[in-house]
Structure 1
Amino acid sequence: MCGIAGVFNQQSNSPIDAQTLVNMAAIMHHRGPDGFGYQVLDEHGVGFSHARLSIIDLNEQRGRQPFMSADEQLMLAHNGEFYDFQRIRADLTAQGTRFQSKSDSEIVIHLYQRYGLTETLKHLRGEFAFSFYDKQEDALYLVRDRFGIKPLYWTQTEQGVVFGSELKVLFAHPAVKRQFSAEGLYHQLIQVMVPGSTAFEGVQQVMPGHVVKITRTADGLNIDTSKYWDVNFPLANEYPGDEVDEQQYIDGVREHLLDAVQQRMVADVPVGCYLSGGIDSCSILGLAAAATQYSVKAFTIGFDSDAYDETPIAREMAEATGADHHIMALKANDLYDHFVQTLWHTERTIYNTLGVAKYLMSQQVKQAGYKVVMTGEGSDELFAGYPAFRKDMFLHGLDHLPEHERQGEQAILEESNQLFKGAMLAREEYVSEAFNEKMGFTPSCVQPWLSCSPVALQLVSASHREKLQHYDAGKAIADTLDADMLSDRHPLDRAQYVWIKTMLEGQILTWGGDRVDMANSMEARPAFLDHHLAEYAFTVPPHLRIKGNKEKYVLREAMKGLLPETLYKREKFAFMAPPAHTDPEKWKAVELLAEQFLNREAVEAAGLLDYDEVVRTFARHEDPDVPSEEKVQLDAVINHLLGVQVLHHHFVETDVPAMAAARAQELNWRA
């Protein structure tokens, strides 16, 4: 697990400053503190750099990247992990291939030489993002894993393309502009992003399951994006009926999950587990503990609010598995005290301080001497665990039930999820015409955020508001979704598809995953997002994902033997940090940040927000007559207001190229 960076110039004879490449690696030293490497091919106008976190093949010289093929025709820089690489390496070796290292990364070069890129991608299993240059084609490939677990950004300058694992890596290059776009700013305030976009003008992400191919032409660079994998549910009429053999699916889920866990326990360093009080992480720990001879280290986040704290169940699971259990107890002030530093790493706004909690936990994982943990992310996406999925199932996927029964189930759902209304569930129904046209209904998962659109429009500055007068956020998101993957699918499948393409990639795997984990040089391995497991999970009939009012039914049954009984019977509880309005001390911490970043001078200098509307938003939040569900939504909006101002401070006001150069000098990283 590492960080990558690079430049591909429009003119092949255009020189590349090697020290700039090194600076780009230095500013993401947190992603790779174990060493760095760079390679410049001046006669080809391309250069890569790499910051290394050594997990597989700890030999510093042998594992150093970028890798060059033996014939020097191919260059690779890789971030992430490829599982099952030993078998692939052994198979290629038996066919006459000679490897230079024991690194999992090197398999890409040899697979490509033998099969080409299309076939190579079918062999790659894991979480990854890599850059690949082919001299013969004079082509740069930027590739991202199937779910977007690993980040990869790129932008085009007057000289060519600049890419890297984080936005700050791009901003370390002096030719890259650092300014918000009106649309990017707007989406920061409503939480949900347009897939493939960022907050910043001209800066894009490689989409999950996609390849960006860049070649030179007489007219400039040709940039082509293609999809190699997608979330492909069966057609609705292809599922078996109610007479389906449940046990077949229960056994299949168990088998595939165990294989995914075992693959992710392979490392040349110890592997621990994150442990909340949910089915997902408890399942991962239970399988990991059963599959190894040693006591697994488990890390749990605890909150000083009983309504949000899950440590009792986590402690019960740790005791049952004999895990070496570490609990990090967080107090109200801990979260906002580290808010600004967390956003340096997330590079986008966050609606809940869970991202800060995860950042602080990764610090403790590092202090405990661990570089790798397995996590439970992805389970809710595969097995319909979120309350929004149950709501859509009741509203759109149970046509055979009488209306009063469906409404009754929905009322139970709303009542049991009051804590999350205004965040995980909308305060009231929001309809997007674009979503309705694209998929037949507006999925509940995007309603809380799209419903913030009128509020967000008033909060942006007048100059940005003018640019957004005819902008439809719902349409911008819906337009990126593949109609072929939605057509003739079950309503639950359509809802899960939208979540995976929006909230999973843009939130859970970003500010709740890679960015706050790698902030402290810690690799997270989400076993549920193994694509072999995922492709099997897609075949599980919807009524076995949500059975009655029980979400993740098939997973519960598959893991029944290792889960505490209280957890097996428990309804899904979304893992969130307590919102600011629930704790006076936490709200005081918010006010202190607001004094620094949301005062009139700071707001007007940034030119992003309308100061008078910011003041009105805070006044509304402090009104004792405002209902709690609106305060949940206002908490999120205020976090976003603080967030855009902090991002402006970090990446626009600050001279990022100079900061990167200073960091390289401090580390003694020189070209």
Structure 2
Amino acid sequence: MCGIWATFGTEGGLSATCLKCFSAIVHRGPDAWRIEQDAREPLGTLGFQRLAIVDGLHGMQPMRLHRYPRITLICNGEIYNYKRLQDQYNFPYETNCDVEAIIHCYENFGISDAVKKLDGVFAFCLVDGEKRKIFISRDPYGVRPLFKLQDDENGFMAICSEAKGLIGLKQKASETSTLGQFPPGHLEEWDMLEGGKVKLNKTEQYFTPGTAPRFLPFVSEEEISELSVYEKTAYLLEAACKKRLMSDRRIGCLLSGGLDSSLITALVVKLAKIHKLPYKIQTFAIGMGDSPDLIAARTVAEYLGTEHHEVKFDENDVKQELDNVIYHLESYDITTTRASLPMYLLAKYIKENTDTTVVFSGEGADEVAQGYIYFRDAPDTKAAHDESIRLLSDIYLYDGLRADRTTSAFSLELRVPFLDIQFTNHYLNIEPSLRQPQNGVEKHLLRNSFAKSGLLPDTILFRHKEAFSDGVASVKKSLFTTIDEIIRERLPNEIPCYPGVQPNTPESKYYRYIFEKSFSGQHNFTPYYWMPKWVQVSDPSARFIKHYAAL
């Protein structure tokens, strides 16, 4: 996890506004920073805030190689198959840094084929000074963030890992300029024009959820050809965890005690023993008082023998950090904000009290495996499948955004195995009826894939789905009830009428009010409120769905 920032189409050196914008993402990379222009011909300004995870000596960016001196790369990402690519194509690597593979793939295959050969998560900008081209791309599910500011009127374009690094430039751009997230699974090619201006040449969507990998898979078809669908599911999820162990920094796991985080933790602990990592896996759970999550996570940690940390928070913590959470999220979505508060507080604890830097988490499982309670109300298997695809297509706006921003705010790097391309391709192509909830149990197929593994106690493997705000809260009081009480004390009497999706509760009005303080007019960052489908509810919390069993 790092921070990238670049501008193209400006004249002269770095302005005070540019430097202020660049420094706004320092939390993404506190280990080192660099900002530079090409002295031979200013094709743009590129900046990098580094969190050193792999190759501490040679991994600094912007990256140039002796072999290709006119190519410059900035990338926030991890390329899990960089060694396989080297073996497959005999790439002459100059560093031990995984993102170097992007440059070699571009030079050997062109940008369109290059992005399809990458097994990893990434957001990058590659400048080819000789061809006067700029290429921008983002990983298939948008695990790594990327925003783009485009001002066609002035021939200007800028990119950054977070919007807070561009909002100051947006205020100085033309009225027709646009600022928003660069879409996952896409690639753009820009031309450098005479006079230094830039122009978008073409856009390509290279990935849609559920499609097969176009790179050499981490697990060969021969390895799994004789396995049952359950065995294959378990095998590929473990492989997704294995490839993500790539790190020179300490690895830990976020552990709520629910199925998703518990499975990932169990697999990481298993792999850490196999690969003889020189430390015990740390696990981290958070809750209010006697929350169900704390109790369940404690059970998992004791079963697995991890170095477990319990973090307890109260309404004073919520009061102190609520506005900061919205600023880091760059969103005013209700569900996203609620769920982000505990994760933000947990990340803060990890940063301040431990040496863990890389954290595994269970994001993506509900989208891939139909884990939300409302999937029980799907009218048929096709509708359920289509909803999975929709959720995965938009995960970068909601759960994916939450997971990245809350951890990156405290300089942690997140790893999400459930969004592995080979795993999602397998799971989304299983017989649709097997993927639906069975007998009132969500993720029935996923649970049964590990039923005989001994990785987890059955009480955890078949634990019912909690609403996030109930899981972390005291059994006496839900988190969103606590938030509501705080907001009613703070909400101004008069709230402006905002464009875009309309807030209609005190909670949603407050989130929008705080969002507008830092990102005025950028309602497009949240195109719609996340809500369950096929059910009639006035609040996005799962506790309002008739099937909810946690009450």
Query: Smaller-chain TM-score range?
Result: 0.7 to 0.9
Q: 2:510 aligns with which of 642, 650, 655?
A: 642
Q: Kindly indicate whether the alpha-carbon contact (under 8 Å) linking 2:43 and 2:129 is maintained by their aligned counterparts in 1.
A: no
Where does 1:564-583 land on structure 2 (aligned, <5 Å)? Answer: 564-576=457-469
The alpha carbon displacement at 1:332 in A equals 2.9
| Aligned Cα root-mean-square deviation (Å) | 2.9
The alpha carbon displacement at 1:257 in A equals 0.7
* Residue matched to 1:85: 82
Q: Kindly indicate whether the alpha-carbon contact (under 8 Å) linking 2:363 and 2:418 is maintained by their aligned counterparts in 1.
A: yes
In 2, Cα distance between equivalents of 1:114 and 1:499? 35
Give the residue type in structure 2 aligned to 1:365: I
Where does 1:530-549 land on structure 2 (aligned, <5 Å)? Answer: 530-546=420-436, 547-549=438-440
The answer as to 2:485 corresponding to 1:491 is no
Q: Which moved more, 1:638-647 or 1:14-23?
A: 14-23
Deviations, residues 418-457 of structure 1 (Å, cap 9, x unaligned)? xxxxxxxxxxxxxxxxxxxxxxxxxxxxxxxxxxxxxxxx
The answer as to 2:179 corresponding to 1:206 is no
Give the residue type in structure 1 aligned to 2:229: Y
* Residue matched to 2:261: 281
The alpha carbon displacement at 1:322 in A equals 0.4
The alpha carbon displacement at 1:586 in A equals 4.4
In 1, Cα distance between equivalents of 2:486 and 2:91? 62
Q: What TM-score comes out, normalization by structure 2 length?
A: 0.82
The alpha carbon displacement at 1:90 in A equals 4.8
Deviations, residues 346-386 of structure 1 (Å, cap 9, x unaligned)? 11113142211111111111121211100001111111111
Cα distance 1:118–1:304, how it changes in 2: closer, same or farther (>3 A)? same
SS at the partner of 1:551?
coil
The answer as to 2:55 corresponding to 1:75 is no
The alpha carbon displacement at 1:135 in A equals 1.9
The answer as to 2:482 corresponding to 1:590 is no
Cα distance 1:45–1:255, how it changes in 2: closer, same or farther (>3 A)? same
Where does 1:387-402 land on structure 2 (aligned, <5 Å)? Answer: 387-392=373-378, 395-397=379-381
Deviations, residues 86-126 of structure 1 (Å, cap 9, x unaligned)? 3334555xx36141x22111111112112222222222122
The alpha carbon displacement at 1:228 in A equals 0.6
In 1, Cα distance between equivalents of 2:459 and 2:174? 50
Deviations, residues 318-368 of structure 1 (Å, cap 9, x unaligned)? 111101111111223322321111111111113142211111111111121
The answer as to 2:202 corresponding to 1:311 is no
Cα distance 1:570–1:227, how it changes in 2: closer, same or farther (>3 A)? same
In 1, Cα distance between equivalents of 2:391 and 2:483? 30
Where does 1:189-588 land on structure 2 (aligned, <5 Å)? Answer: 202-216=178-192, 221-232=199-210, 248-293=228-273, 294-304=279-289, 306=291, 309-352=292-335, 353-367=338-352, 368-392=354-378, 395-397=379-381, 490-502=382-394, 504-510=395-401, 512-546=402-436, 547-560=438-451, 561=453, 562-576=455-469, 586-588=483-485
SS at the partner of 2:47?
strand
Q: Kindly indicate whether the alpha-carbon contact (under 8 Å) linking 1:298 and 1:325 is maintained by their aligned counterparts in 2.
A: yes
Give the residue type in structure 1 aligned to 2:148: W
The alpha carbon displacement at 1:78 in A equals 0.5
In 2, Cα distance between equivalents of 1:380 and 1:514? 17
Q: Kindly indicate whether the alpha-carbon contact (under 8 Å) linking 1:246 and 1:544 is maintained by their aligned counterparts in 2.
A: no
The alpha carbon displacement at 1:221 in A equals 1.5
SS at the partner of 1:550?
coil
Cα distance 1:23–1:609, how it changes in 2: closer, same or farther (>3 A)? closer
In 2, Cα distance between equivalents of 1:25 and 1:645? 25
Larger Rg: 1
Cα distance 1:169–1:54, how it changes in 2: closer, same or farther (>3 A)? same
Give the residue type in structure 2 aligned to 1:337: Q
SS at the partner of 1:532?
helix
Q: What TM-score comes out, normalization by structure 1 length?
A: 0.68
* Residue matched to 1:454: none
The answer as to 2:121 corresponding to 1:137 is no
In 1, Cα distance between equivalents of 2:128 and 2:479? 55
The alpha carbon displacement at 1:568 in A equals 2.6
Higher helix content, 1 or 2: 1
In 2, Cα distance between equivalents of 1:566 and 1:224? 52
In 1, Cα distance between equivalents of 2:428 and 2:131? 37
Q: Kindly indicate whether the alpha-carbon contact (under 8 Å) linking 1:15 and 1:45 is maintained by their aligned counterparts in 2.
A: no
Cα distance 1:232–1:258, how it changes in 2: closer, same or farther (>3 A)? closer
The alpha carbon displacement at 1:18 in A equals 7.0
Deviations, residues 275-310 of structure 1 (Å, cap 9, x unaligned)? 11211111111111111234211011213365xx32
Q: 2:92 aligns with which of 82, 90, 97?
A: 97
Q: Kindly indicate whether the alpha-carbon contact (under 8 Å) linking 1:24 and 1:172 is maintained by their aligned counterparts in 2.
A: yes
Give the residue type in structure 1 aligned to 2:518: H
Deviations, residues 464-500 of structure 1 (Å, cap 9, x unaligned)? xxxxxxxxxxxxxxxxxxxxxxxxxx22211111111
In 2, Cα distance between equivalents of 1:128 and 1:582? 33
In 1, Cα distance between equivalents of 2:332 and 2:34? 31
Deviations, residues 175-222 of structure 1 (Å, cap 9, x unaligned)? 64599x9xxxxxxxxxxxxxxxxxxx7212211111122224689623
Q: Kindly indicate whether the alpha-carbon contact (under 8 Å) linking 2:241 and 2:268 is maintained by their aligned counterparts in 1.
A: yes
In 2, Cα distance between equivalents of 1:272 and 1:122? 30
Q: Kindly indicate whether the alpha-carbon contact (under 8 Å) linking 1:333 and 1:585 is maintained by their aligned counterparts in 2.
A: no
Give the residue type in structure 2 aligned to 1:540: I
In 2, Cα distance between equivalents of 1:287 and 1:536? 19
Cα distance 1:592–1:609, how it changes in 2: closer, same or farther (>3 A)? farther
Q: Kindly indicate whether the alpha-carbon contact (under 8 Å) linking 2:188 and 2:200 is maintained by their aligned counterparts in 1.
A: no
The alpha carbon displacement at 1:224 in A equals 2.5
| Unaligned ranges ≥5, structure 2 | 213-224, 274-278, 522-551
Q: Kindly indicate whether the alpha-carbon contact (under 8 Å) linking 1:147 and 1:208 is maintained by their aligned counterparts in 2.
A: yes
Q: Which moved more, 1:150-159 or 1:577-586?
A: 577-586
In 2, Cα distance between equivalents of 1:23 and 1:152? 18
Identity of aligned residues (%): 25
The answer as to 2:169 corresponding to 1:169 is no
In 2, Cα distance between equivalents of 1:155 and 1:263? 33
Q: Kindly indicate whether the alpha-carbon contact (under 8 Å) linking 1:24 and 1:49 is maintained by their aligned counterparts in 2.
A: no
Cα distance 1:41–1:175, how it changes in 2: closer, same or farther (>3 A)? farther
Q: Kindly indicate whether the alpha-carbon contact (under 8 Å) linking 1:333 and 1:586 is maintained by their aligned counterparts in 2.
A: no
The answer as to 2:146 corresponding to 1:148 is no
The alpha carbon displacement at 1:17 in A equals 2.1
Q: Kindly indicate whether the alpha-carbon contact (under 8 Å) linking 2:255 and 2:283 is maintained by their aligned counterparts in 1.
A: yes
Deviations, residues 223-267 of structure 1 (Å, cap 9, x unaligned)? 532111111379xxxxxxxxxx99611111111111111111120
The alpha carbon displacement at 1:136 in A equals 2.9
Q: Kindly indicate whether the alpha-carbon contact (under 8 Å) linking 1:8 and 1:47 is maintained by their aligned counterparts in 2.
A: yes
In 2, Cα distance between equivalents of 1:214 and 1:548? 52
Give the residue type in structure 1 aligned to 2:283: A
Q: Kindly indicate whether the alpha-carbon contact (under 8 Å) linking 2:241 and 2:267 is maintained by their aligned counterparts in 1.
A: yes
In 2, Cα distance between equivalents of 1:590 and 1:254? 43
